Amino acid sequence: MSASDCWIDIAAEGGRFQAYLATPPTGSGPGILLIQEIFGVNAHIQAVAAQYAMDGYTVLAPDVFWRQRPGVQLGYDGQDFARGIELMQGLDFPCALADLTAALAALRERPECKGPAAVMGYCMGGRLSFHVAAQTDVDAAVCYYGGGIPSVLDLAPQIRAPILFHFAEQDRFIPLEGVEAVRQAFGPRDNAMVEVYAGVDHGFNCWARGSYDQTAAALARGRTLAFLATNMPSS
């Protein structure tokens, strides 16, 4: 963690929770609300926050599981994986969305956040990002292999902000039929993009997982940066 990264407290219904804040070298920039996988705001999510901070964004990664197990940081195998699944299954979804809405407001109120703010998430966080885009006035959304999105496409008409989806061709959790349903739900909209990465599996962006694919991760990151720069220009 660099000197520009820290944990901050956020007020919510029923208590306070922590979020990891990463700020750009210039001290301020557009915002990104970064939503974790089932493994918590672990070393990988903190590193992703630092990556986007180096690209000029003020990034806030809230602890989604704080009501169940505050500060959880898990690995990707064995008991840690099972614990992550358990925490996801026990998540109070409406409460989590309220907490994320509070985190978005806290991000926008930070002096380091200048201009628009996007939401971006991975796996569970990808689906949560979809919901945040549907229920808030966020300026843009990026969803990496968001499990469950094909089952909530009735929310698609509520999403007005530009949105970018990244899917893995060989994702065992999200079949290509579901990806096509997402594509069809957004139809001809010119501010919705669906990208599919050939030959890779779920979690391809995470270098700590066996499914990591450097080429797909780099391509998706480049597309994400171009998307954010186009749809969220700095003020």
Considering the candidates 44, 131, 166, 202, report the single residue annotated as catalytic.
202
Active site residue 92: no
HSE at residue 17, side-chain half, CA atoms within 13 A, is 28
Considering the candidates 171, 190, 201, 213, report the single residue annotated as catalytic.
171
The rounded distance, in Å, linking the Cα atoms of 196 and 178 is 12
31 within 8 A of 107, measured Cβ to Cβ: yes
Name the residue among 74, 102, 136, 125 with its Cα closest to residue 8: 102
Tokens for 185?
A: 């739900």
59 within 8 A of 21, measured Cβ to Cβ: yes
Q: Which residues make Cβ contacts (< 8 Å) with residue 128, sequence separation at least 6? A: 35, 64, 96, 97, 100, 121, 146
The rounded distance, in Å, linking the Cα atoms of 213 and 200 is 7
Active site residue 202: yes
Going by the DSSP 8-state scheme, the letter that residue 145 receives in this structure is S
Name the residue among 221, 161, 146, 154 with its Cα closest to residue 191: 161
List residues with catalytic annotation: 171, 202
